[in-house]
Amino acid sequence: MITDEDKERVRQATDIVALIGETVELRQRGQEFWGCCPFHGEKTPSFKVNPATGLWHCFGCGQGGDVFSYVQKRENLEFPDAIRYLADRAGIELQEERDASRGPKRNRLIDCLTETESFYAMMLMRGKTAGEARKYLSGRGFGSDVCRRWKLGYAPGRGSLVAHLREKGFSVQEMVAADVATQRGGRVQDRFWDRVMFPIHDERGRTIAFGGRYIVKRENTGKYLNTRDTAVFNKRKHLFAYDRAKDGMAATGKAIVCEGYTDVIAMHEAGFTNAVAALGTAFGIDHVRLMERQRVREIVCMFDGDEAGQRAAERAVQFIDKTEAALTCVVLPGGQDPMEFLASHTREEMAAQIGAARPLMDFVFEKRLAAADLSTPGRRVKVLEDMCKVLAPLKDSVLLGEYATRLADGLGLDADEVARRIKATPVARDDAQGDGRSGSWGDDRGGSRGAGRPGSGSWQSRQATPAAPQRGGGPSGGWDALPAEAYDYSAGYDDGSLSAGYLPPEAEGQGVVTATAPAAPQGSWGAAGSAGGSWAAQGGAGGSSFSTALSADERVQVASERELLCAMATRMGDVRPYEDRIAGLSWADGRHEAMAWAMLAAPEGSTPAQLVAAATAVVPEAPGILSGGRAADAGGEGKLVGLLVDTVELYSCKRQVRQIRAKMRGATGEAADGLFERAIELKRRVNELSQKVSGVESD
């Protein structure tokens, strides 16, 4: 706890004019100093500082106070941290530090680290064993002038640093506390050896830590070895090059976060002086808060284009609702990192890449969905499970509804069910609580494995129960010519094609509990009146099924596609007049599309067995899918086939509208205009087909 005595000592030691003059151009008028307010834009000075009272005030925005309130506002700090900030600036040791410190003093550790930095720099320039280190840096475009500006160095090891520091008067306790040396069994040795050294500074430019990269790869040794947390350094609260970048951040309102030390140096050397990097751990909320001190409006995450970069982007998603700054993302072409890109491109080309930064969430959604197989409902639900892990940190955010709807649109799932699953997914262990690596995700599979499979009380065990069509529940309330079972989609399919055999193999055992027949909402085609609803998901008590995650439209489309395929297999002559329309459908299940094309490509006059064989040649589970059709055997000549085509096309158009809605979120210019026009065209077709399907009963 900070005492009142320490608070006053810090106040007396702080020259308010010098403090504010660090960032504000002040001119003296009598006993006061005036300048333009740093907290709001103005051209005429209305900000005054009175050194006699130690107070400041702006007549433009009405803000004012003492040195502590000024630092609070300028650095975005809480009151105790503002005192600590000024105490550190003035070289004052607070009582809380004296009480807590049992080891060397902070200033001695910083002196030790500063001397270590000088030693490493000298070894790089003059050391006999530093040839490979110089070659490594030169190969990255870092000549001697760059190395001097960034105080880069080389750690030869072999006790050379310990011997040097002893000569300079530093004790073993101080070396170990600064983490530049280790002590085992009474033997003291250098912490770093045979590594290129990158010094890390605090916001005032003082040396507080090091990052060392090996030159020759060694077994059981990481590429980078970083200073452990010490009394003067915490890797989760500091950023590499923040001391150099903070002015650039404040000037541009933008911060660029890279993944490596060399990337940051290359960016600064190219003129991007607002670039920083995290230090041996994942990008965290404390890093965001540090950049917010400079009132950045945008944080550009410049990730590598590899899998590690993708994971880094997904980890950063959790901070979207925790900062007022926009989180955007740049992935350089060809999987290059910033240093590699700048080696072969101009500064202007890099600026163009940064200017085209995309919202971070857009990038995560696109990369996840582009790499996923969305051809079947089961696979889409598997992607949902993966995305739930990414979005779980936002489960309590007001943004959850927006992202759940977006994900539902992209996958053809029910938005409410998507939101529920995100909320039920455990949040991974925070990197800040661990070792810097992503924590393991919890297992939330929403029900017992195997629920809803044959023999487990699922729909397959029920007998078909013919049900008379209800008005508004089937295709029409007046199709008396068709038998009741033509409408009874509450009856199960004993072939199991919508259970274990209908799901892709990778969904089995992955928490995707197998499904019953897809559920259609009441009042829509195929929702015949059985107790508990038609096509109902019967996943077992407490169990979930993949169909519960599907949207109502998707469930109806899957069911309709299946019936259309059955009609194609048994009465292709009635289907042929519609083949152009069928060819243009957007299918909910990619296997259904492949089967349809295979059967349409079969020679005219092919028997049902030959059509089934054609479908099986492209989709091995086709016999199970085609064997369970009900409406296809109901008679009614071509009338039912026409209704099936209309229904599938109706939901196909709705599906395309959802997909376009998802794409429009990231589209601009002509691309956005084209998507909008296509959506309008599809909506008109949806209206036409809706009227046509609902008007069948009056025919």
Domain boundary among 43, 69, 99: 99
pLDDT of residue 149: 95
Alpha-carbon distance of 256 to 274, in angstroms, equals 6
Select from 534, 532, 502 the least CA-distant residue to 515: 502
Bigger pLDDT: 103 vs 481: 103
Instruction: Say what the alpha-carbon torsion angle 401, 406, 409, 413 is, to the nearest 10 degrees.
Output: -50
User: What band does 47 get if pLDDT is binned at 50, 70 and 90?
Assistant: very high
pLDDT of residue 220: 64
Residue whose pair of structure tokens reads 């969904």 in the numeric block: 507
Residue 513 domain-assigned (yes or no) = no
Residues 306, 340 contacting (CB under 8 angstroms) = no
Give the burial class of 325: count Cβ atoms within 10 A of its Cβ; 0-12 exposed, 13-18 middle, 19 or more buried.
buried
pLDDT value at 80 more than 50: yes
On whether both 173 and 92 belong to a single domain, the answer is: no
On whether both 55 and 106 belong to a single domain, the answer is: no
pLDDT of residue 306: 67
pLDDT value at 383 more than 60: yes
Q: Residue 539 carries which side chain, given as an amino acid letter? A: G
Question: CATH number for the domain including 600?
Answer: 1.10.860
Between the two ends of the chain, the Cα-to-Cα distance in Å is: 84
On whether both 81 and 119 belong to a single domain, the answer is: no
Give the chain's mean pLDDT: 77
How many CB atoms within 10 Å of residue 157? 16
Alpha-carbon distance of 236 to 230, in angstroms, equals 12
Alpha-carbon distance of 194 to 257, in angstroms, equals 28
pLDDT of residue 103: 63
pLDDT in tens, 110-154: 999 999 999 999 999 988 889 999 999 999 889 999 999 999 999
Domain boundary among 346, 365, 384: 365
pLDDT of residue 4: 83
Alpha-carbon distance of 62 to 51, in angstroms, equals 19
Bigger pLDDT: 558 vs 263: 263
User: What band does 281 get if pLDDT is binned at 50, 70 and 90?
Assistant: low
Alpha-carbon distance of 584 to 435, in angstroms, equals 52
How many CB atoms within 10 Å of residue 411? 26
How many CB atoms within 10 Å of residue 343? 12
pLDDT in tens, 531-546: 233 332 323 323 344 4
Tokens for 380? 């889409």
Share of the chain above pLDDT 90, in %: 26
Give the range of the structural domain holding residue 594, as residue numbers without chain letter.
551-699
Degrees (nearest 5) of the Cα angle 100, 105, 109?
125
Task: Please compute the mean of the pLDDT values over residues 98-117 and round it to a whole number.
Answer: 80
Question: CATH number for the domain including 117?
Answer: 3.90.980.10
How many CB atoms within 10 Å of residue 484? 16
pLDDT of residue 193: 92
Residues 629, 561 contacting (CB under 8 angstroms) = no
Residue 525 domain-assigned (yes or no) = no
pLDDT of residue 275: 96
pLDDT of residue 190: 94
pLDDT in tens, 444-478: 333 333 333 333 333 333 333 333 333 333 333 33
pLDDT value at 31 more than 90: no
Residues 244, 268 contacting (CB under 8 angstroms) = yes
**206-215, 409-418, 533-542: lowest mean pLDDT where?**
533-542
Buried residues in 416-434 as b, exposed as e (16+ CB within 10 A): ebbbbbbeebebbeebeee
Bigger pLDDT: 263 vs 657: 263
Residue 11 domain-assigned (yes or no) = yes
Question: CATH number for the domain including 75?
Answer: 3.90.580.10
pLDDT of residue 74: 82
Q: How far are the Cα atoms of 48, 289, 473 from residue 478, in angstroms, in the given order? A: 85, 66, 11
User: What band does 339 get if pLDDT is binned at 50, 70 and 90?
Assistant: very high
- Distant-in-sequence, close-in-space partners of 17: CB < 8 Å, separation ≥ 6: 26, 33, 49, 51
pLDDT value at 689 more than 70: yes
Number of domains in the chain: 5
Residue 454 domain-assigned (yes or no) = no
On whether both 210 and 170 belong to a single domain, the answer is: yes
Alpha-carbon distance of 78 to 470, in angstroms, equals 66
Bigger pLDDT: 615 vs 303: 615
Alpha-carbon distance of 196 to 171, in angstroms, equals 25
On whether both 267 and 306 belong to a single domain, the answer is: yes
Residues 350, 333 contacting (CB under 8 angstroms) = no
On whether both 133 and 270 belong to a single domain, the answer is: no
On whether both 332 and 409 belong to a single domain, the answer is: no
Residue 534 domain-assigned (yes or no) = no
On whether both 32 and 168 belong to a single domain, the answer is: no
pLDDT in tens, 560-602: 888 888 888 888 888 889 888 888 888 888 889 889 999 999 8
pLDDT of residue 234: 87
* 3-state secondary structure labels for all residues of 402-426: HHHHHHHHHHCECHHHHHHHHHHCC
Alpha-carbon distance of 621 to 591, in angstroms, equals 9
pLDDT of residue 630: 65
How many CB atoms within 10 Å of residue 60? 16
User: What band does 483 get if pLDDT is binned at 50, 70 and 90?
Assistant: very low
In this structure, what are the phi and psi dihedrals at residue 553, rounded to the nearest 5 degrees? -60, -40
On whether both 121 and 178 belong to a single domain, the answer is: yes
Residues 552, 500 contacting (CB under 8 angstroms) = no
pLDDT of residue 503: 40
pLDDT of residue 500: 29
Residue 407 domain-assigned (yes or no) = yes
Alpha-carbon distance of 680 to 678, in angstroms, equals 5
**171-175, 238-242, 508-512: lowest mean pLDDT where?**
508-512
Select from 446, 453, 662, 415 the least CA-distant residue to 549: 415
pLDDT in tens, 623-647: 878 876 665 555 555 678 888 888 8
Instruction: Say what the alpha-carbon torsion angle 288, 294, 299, 305 is, to the nearest 10 degrees.
Output: -80
On whether both 94 and 110 belong to a single domain, the answer is: no
Highest mean pLDDT of the ranges 282-291, 353-362, 438-447: 353-362
On whether both 89 and 201 belong to a single domain, the answer is: no
* Three-state DSSP state, 284: coil
Domain boundary among 325, 349, 365: 365
pLDDT of residue 499: 30
pTM: 0.61
Residues 485, 528 contacting (CB under 8 angstroms) = no
On whether both 263 and 215 belong to a single domain, the answer is: no
pLDDT of residue 171: 93
Residue 195 domain-assigned (yes or no) = yes
pLDDT of residue 501: 33
Residues 168, 114 contacting (CB under 8 angstroms) = no
Residue 361 domain-assigned (yes or no) = yes
Q: Residue 666 carries which side chain, given as an amino acid letter? A: G
